[in-house]
Structure 1
């Protein structure tokens, strides 16, 4: 149930960002905005929030969400948007707004949706190196039963 709530929050957030930039500034239709928002929300939730965020943290996931939003809006927009707009700049500015909002959304995801087991990193960021210490056995010594003398 928490994933459904998180998806709805993310969909509203992405739709608002896409509507403000593409709808108000570039005159893109509502149907095109909803198509872009739906596809982008699903892809960003699976890739950015469920895969990248638990393993690499908030800022890495926000950067990944920026790249995904930029490329996603540009690719989806080139297919569904009928207006003649500067799609590169529109994608960049929309992705910037989405990535800024994603930083806050990731705090919600880490506190409410991702449990402690899911939040643990699969790849250790700072692995602790330890060395096993043991005394060497001298096989040439006559008294094998006695411990070696201490220096």
Structure 2
């Protein structure tokens, strides 16, 4: 149940960030939601459940930056190709990565098992 709550929080965070940034470029809301859903699922599995517990918060936040940048650029080429994709992808990814840093603190406290050293350290700092 905690993973569903975390996925919901992450989805809202990603969707709001993309709505603010991509909305500036006039990307339709439906495309923002599709992009948010795909990014949330991929980043949760890779960044939050594997990279964060294994390598720590900073590494996971930078991984999320790269995942979001590549994901937005690739999905943008398919869903909303008429904008400046490199800039839109970078700004969106930077905003998402900043939110991910704090989301990982939540994950350490409320969701993940504290048997992992990086998770324990992050939970103690939060």
Other-structure match for 1:59:
58
Alignment of 1:68-147 (within 5 A): 68-81=67-80, 84-117=82-115, 119-120=116-117
Looking at structure 2, the residues matched to 116 and 11 of structure 1 have their Cα atoms a distance apart, in angstroms, of 24
Higher helix share: 2
Secondary structure at the aligned position of 1:35 is classed as helix
5+ residue gaps, structure 2, are: 119-126
Other-structure match for 2:12:
12
Looking at structure 2, the residues matched to 116 and 17 of structure 1 have their Cα atoms a distance apart, in angstroms, of 29
RMSD of aligned alpha carbons: 1.0
Looking at structure 2, the residues matched to 85 and 4 of structure 1 have their Cα atoms a distance apart, in angstroms, of 33
What TM-score do the two structures reach when normalised by structure 2? 0.91
Q: CA offset at residue 120 of structure 1?
A: 4.1
Q: CA offset at residue 56 of structure 1?
A: 0.2
- The Cα offsets for residues 63-83 of structure 1, whole Å up to 9 and x where unpaired, read as 00000000000001111115x
Based on CA coordinates, which of the two structures has the bigger radius of gyration? 1
Aligned positions, number: 118
What TM-score do the two structures reach when normalised by structure 1? 0.76
Other-structure match for 1:31:
30
Following TM superposition, the consecutive aligned residue runs of length 4 or more in structure 1 with deviations greater than 2 angstroms are none
Q: CA offset at residue 112 of structure 1?
A: 0.6
Looking at structure 2, the residues matched to 102 and 120 of structure 1 have their Cα atoms a distance apart, in angstroms, of 19
Higher RCO (CA-CA < 8 Å; seq separation 6+) = 2
